[in-house]
Amino acid sequence: MNIGQAAERSGVSAKLIRHYESIGVVPKAGRSDAGYRIYTENDVHILSFVRRARDLGFSMKEIKKLVGLWRNKSRASAEVKTLALQHVKALDQKIAQLEAMSKSLKQLARNCHGDGRPECPILDGLSE
Amino acid sequence: MNIGQAAERSGVSAKLIRHYESIGVVPKAGRSDAGYRIYTENDVHILSFVRRARDLGFSMKEIKKLVGLWRNKSRASAEVKTLALQHVKALDQKIAQLEAMSKSLKQLARNCHGDGRPECPILDGLSE
DNA sequence: TTTGACCTTCCAACGATGGGAAGGTGCAGA
DNA sequence: TCTGCACCTTCCCATCGTTGGAAGGTCAAA
């Protein structure tokens, strides 16, 4: 299987597959005589795994660890769980940050007429 | 006032002040004979405005617009409000995304023993 | 043989920020 | 006056994840 098909099947673009290989997130693919990368079902499986981890917001560094744990049949699930819960914590912190921003901004916008006049509590709020 | 003092007073690092100037987010500062940037109270005010907008998660592109509107005494508040509400929408979308991630991951983690054994529903979930 | 779709590597960009090098300036103390 | 230190200047590089393009090689069908 060429990289294009692997990309289609895994949902990871060919561009990104090469990138992931270069930073060691996925193992180096085999090569044809002409130098084309060759992918197996298992390779596609790894790529799909990476895509799902990415969809859950893990960083590439974390994904690299997760792939390592996934491929290591004798890992301790505690290690995976720790990684996952750390990420949950980071997500929840980010959510709280964004919620605070959204809330403040909604508050400012609520008081703004939003018409042709120049008076604007939003700008006043930013100006303090 | 030198850039260091302006940085301290506005809460924007000297490094960033120069950067903001270079991309046109804040007006070019005056210069001393020796080439040092000179800041007035008003300049510090603009920088503080930028910092607060940044704290609310606005992009530099949006902040550039906001600074323009702020400095334009004849703006229509509708324009500011539109910008603000677009940003609120973007924030809320991002929040929803992160919440979905957090929720999925918590669900997976709940079923994981997190002990010395290798069985791990988190990895299984990512492996699907 | 030509054409078009694929593949290769390498280099650059985004956005916001930080780090550091190499060199000039300003001011206080000896 | 000299010295030292804290500050300033510009310039380039790094981060993170991803995308884009250029220049060139390969493959298969018409």
What is the rounded CA–CA span in Å between residue B13 and residue B18? 9
The answer, for A113 touching chain B at a CB cutoff of 8 Å, is yes
Which CATH number applies to B1-75? Answer: 1.10.1660.10
Residues with Cβ within 8 Å of residue B74, at least 6 apart in sequence: A118
* CATH number assigned to the domain with residue range A1-74, chosen from the 4 options 1.10.1660.10, 1.20.1250.20, 3.40.50.920, 1.20.200.10: 1.10.1660.10
Percent of all residues in chain B with a pLDDT value above 70, rounded to a whole number: 100
Neighbours of A65 (CB within 10 A): 17
- Whether residue A20 is predicted with pLDDT greater than 90 in this model: the reply is yes
- A69 interaction partners in chain B (CB closer than 8 Å): 120, 123
Where on the phi/psi map is residue A114: left (φ > 0), alpha (ψ -120 to 50), or beta? left
Residue-level pLDDT at A27 = 96
Mean pLDDT of B31-49: 97
Residue-level pLDDT at B106 = 97
User: Mean pLDDT across chain B, nearest whole number?
Assistant: 96
Query: Does the beta-carbon distance from B118 to A91 stay under 8 Å?
Result: no
Mean pLDDT of B39-60: 97
Neighbours of A115 (CB within 10 A): 11
CA A102 → CA A107, B57, B69, distances in Å? Answer: 8, 9, 21
Per-residue pLDDT reduced to its tens digit, B75-91: 999 999 999 999 999 99
Mean pLDDT of B37-54: 97
Percent of all residues in chain B with a pLDDT value above 90, rounded to a whole number: 99
B47, B51, B93, B98: best to mutate for the A interface, most A CBs within 10 A: B98
What is the rounded CA–CA span in Å between residue B54 and residue A126? 10
Residue-level pLDDT at B124 = 96
Residue-level pLDDT at B98 = 97
Residues with Cβ within 8 Å of residue B55, at least 6 apart in sequence: A101
Pick the residue from chain B with its C-alpha nearest to A124.
Answer: B70
What is the rounded CA–CA span in Å between residue B41 and residue B50? 14
Residue-level pLDDT at A38 = 98
What is the rounded CA–CA span in Å between residue A54 and residue A70? 15
Per-residue pLDDT reduced to its tens digit, B8-21: 999 999 999 999 99
Q: Do residues A62 and A87 make contact, with C-beta atoms less than 8 angstroms apart?
A: yes
The domain ranges of chain A are: 1-74, 76-128
**B24 in helix, strand or coil?**
coil
Q: At what angle do helices A14-22 and A3-10 cross, to 10 degrees?
A: 100
Q: How confident is the model at residue A78 (pLDDT cuts 50, 70, 90)?
A: very high
Residue-level pLDDT at B128 = 86
Main-chain phi, psi angles of B38, to 5 degrees = -120, 130
Residue-level pLDDT at A128 = 85
Q: How confident is the model at residue A30 (pLDDT cuts 50, 70, 90)?
A: very high
Residue-level pLDDT at B109 = 96
Q: What is the DSSP code (8-state) at residue B25?
A: S
User: Mean pLDDT across chain A, nearest whole number?
Assistant: 96
Q: Which of residues 60-99 of B touch A (CB under 8 A)?
A: 66, 69-70, 73-78, 80-82, 84-85, 87-88, 91-92, 94-95, 98-99
Query: Does the beta-carbon distance from B88 to A109 stay under 8 Å?
Result: yes
- Whether residue B92 is predicted with pLDDT greater than 90 in this model: the reply is yes
Per-residue pLDDT reduced to its tens digit, A41-71: 999 999 999 999 999 999 999 999 999 999 9
Distance from CA of A89 to the nearest CA of B (A): 8
**Does any strand C atom come closer than 7 Å to the Cβ of A3?**
yes
